[in-house]
Amino acid sequence: MRKKIYLLHESVDSSMSFAVVGNVEKFAQNKHVCKCWRFCQEHQLKAFLILLDYVDRRKAPGRDGGYSGSGKGRLPSRVFSRLDALPDKVDVVIPCLMPRHIPDIVEESARVGAHTIWFQEKNWTPEFQEKAEVNGLAVVRGCVLKHKKYQGVVKFLRPCYWHGLSCPKVMPKYQR
């Protein structure tokens, strides 16, 4: 059975591979990087989790930096610390970091062969836009979560609901 492809943006669809980039602390606190990662998982998108400050305790015994917490912010079994450590090519890079914490993410995205960088609401800057264009990357601006369908009265309190009023929602098969 072929998987149906859904358009998320003009140049981004569900057949592409995604890299969600964040840091361990924010992931553990169930911040935006964790929510974007869970969005990709819930909607069966091919996605990789990159946590820039992640240290795998299995490979570096006795060193701090790994995280093995529980709950919603629990790390999946496969976490990478760099984009160039990914086993497969990635099409779309989603940085979920504040601009001051994004270390050369645009150049690294171009180096690994990504063709799109999807900046979230608060981490886009004109400098990043210019760097992306110079490196041949398409830029998407806006929250990934605006494609999620929210239920109940609580949806009115979520900014992603309001930003995504006119956006296509993700795969109807997976909507709850």
Q: Is the dihedral of CA 162, 165, 170, 176 positive or negative?
A: positive
pLDDT at 76: 75
- The burial of 93, by beta-carbon neighbours within 10 Å (0-12 exposed, 13-18 middle, 19 or more buried), is given as buried
How confident is the prediction along the chain (176 residues), in pLDDT tens digits per residue? 456 777 777 888 888 999 999 988 888 887 888 888 888 888 888 999 999 888 765 554 433 344 444 445 567 778 998 999 999 999 999 998 888 777 688 999 999 999 999 888 788 888 888 999 999 999 988 877 655 555 555 554 555 543 444 555 555 444 44
3-state secondary structure of 49: strand
Distance CA 19, CA 48 (A): 5
pLDDT at 36: 85
What are the residues whose beta carbons fall under 8 Å from the beta carbon of 43, sequence distance 6 or more?
14, 170, 171, 174
pLDDT at 138: 93
Long-range Cβ contacts of 1-4 (<8 Å, 24+ apart) = 3/44, 4/171, 4/173
Q: Are 3 and 43 spatial neighbours (Cβ–Cβ below 8 Å)?
A: no
pLDDT at 61: 41
Q: Model-level pTM greater than 0.95?
A: no
